[in-house]
Structure 1
Amino acid sequence: MSEAGFTGELWRSIEGIYAAILDHPFIRGLTDGSLPRDRFRHYVVQDALYLRDYARALSLAGVRSPDEGALVMFDEHAVGAIKVERSLHESFFRDFGITEEEVRRTPMAPTNLAYTSYLLRVASLGDYHEVLGAVLPCYWIYAEVGRALLERGSPDELYARWIDTYGGEEFNELVRAVLELTDRACAGLNPDQRAAATEAFVTTSRYEWMFWNMGWTLEGWPV
Structure 2
Amino acid sequence: MPASRGTAEPFHQWLDAQTRTLWEAIFQLPFLQELAAGTLARDRFAYFLAQDVLYLEQFAKVLARGATLADTPKTREMFLRHAANVARVEERLHAELASRLGLDWDAVRQKEPAPVTVAYTDHLLRVAHTGGLSELVAAVLPCYWVYARVGERLANRLPEDEIYRRWILTYADRDFHRSVDEQLRLIDRLATAAGSNERERMERWFARSLRYEWMFWDQAYRDLAWPV
Under TM normalisation by the shorter chain, which class is it?
A: over 0.9
Q: Secondary structure at the match of 1:133?
A: helix
Moved more, 83-92 or 96-105: 96-105
**8 Å contact kept, 2:99–2:105:** no
**8 Å contact kept, 1:48–1:86:** no
2:131 to 112, 126, 138: 126
State the alpha-carbon separation in 1 of the partners of residues 111 and 90 from structure 2: 18
**8 Å contact kept, 2:10–2:188:** yes
Q: Secondary structure at the match of 1:221?
A: coil
Instruction: Specify every segment of 5 or more residues in structure 1 that has no aligned partner in the other structure, as ranges.
Output: none
**8 Å contact kept, 2:50–2:109:** no
State the alpha-carbon separation in 2 of the partners of residues 68 and 20 from structure 1: 37
Q: Tell me by how many angstroms 1:92 deviates.
A: 1.0
Q: Secondary structure at the match of 2:46?
A: helix
**8 Å contact kept, 1:61–1:131:** yes
Moved more, 100-109 or 71-80: 100-109
Q: Tell me by how many angstroms 1:84 deviates.
A: 2.7
Match of 1:29 in 2: 34
Match of 1:76 in 2: 81
**8 Å contact kept, 1:31–1:155:** no
State the alpha-carbon separation in 1 of the partners of residues 91 and 28 from structure 2: 27
State the alpha-carbon separation in 1 of the partners of residues 53 and 91 from structure 2: 7
Match of 1:183 in 2: 188
Amino acid corresponding to residue 92 of structure 2 in structure 1:
S
Task: Please give the residue correspondences for 1:200-219 in structure 2 after superposition, counting only pairs within 5 Å.
Answer: 200-219=205-224
**8 Å contact kept, 2:142–2:210:** yes
Q: Tell me by how many angstroms 1:96 deviates.
A: 2.0
Q: Tell me by how many angstroms 1:109 deviates.
A: 0.2
State the alpha-carbon separation in 2 of the partners of residues 164 and 104 from structure 1: 23
Q: Does 1:15 align with 2:25?
A: no
Q: Tell me by how many angstroms 1:157 deviates.
A: 1.1
Amino acid corresponding to residue 198 of structure 1 in structure 2:
E
Match of 1:109 in 2: 114
Match of 2:5 in 1: none
State the alpha-carbon separation in 2 of the partners of residues 96 and 204 from structure 1: 29
Structure 1's consecutive aligned runs of 4 or more residues displaced over 4 angstroms after TM superposition are none
Q: Secondary structure at the match of 2:194?
A: coil
State the alpha-carbon separation in 2 of the partners of residues 167 and 70 from structure 1: 24
1:88 to 70, 83, 93: 93
- CA displacement 1:21-58 (0-9 Å, x = unmatched): 11010000111111101000000010011100000001
2:174 to 164, 169, 173: 169
State the alpha-carbon separation in 1 of the partners of residues 39 and 102 from structure 2: 21
Q: Does 1:97 align with 2:102?
A: yes
Q: Does 1:49 align with 2:82?
A: no
Q: Does 1:5 align with 2:18?
A: no
State the alpha-carbon separation in 2 of the partners of residues 6 and 22 from structure 1: 22
Q: Secondary structure at the match of 2:156?
A: helix
Moved more, 179-188 or 118-127: 179-188
State the alpha-carbon separation in 1 of the partners of residues 150 and 32 from structure 2: 8
Match of 2:154 in 1: 149
Percent of residue pairs bearing the same amino acid type:
37
Instruction: Specify every segment of 5 or more residues in structure 2 that has no aligned partner in the other structure, as ranges.
Output: 1-7
Amino acid corresponding to residue 187 of structure 2 in structure 1:
T
Q: Tell me by how many angstroms 1:4 deviates.
A: 4.6
- TM-score of the pair, normalised by structure 2: 0.93
Q: Tell me by how many angstroms 1:101 deviates.
A: 2.2
Q: Tell me by how many angstroms 1:85 deviates.
A: 4.0
State the alpha-carbon separation in 1 of the partners of residues 172 and 47 from structure 2: 22
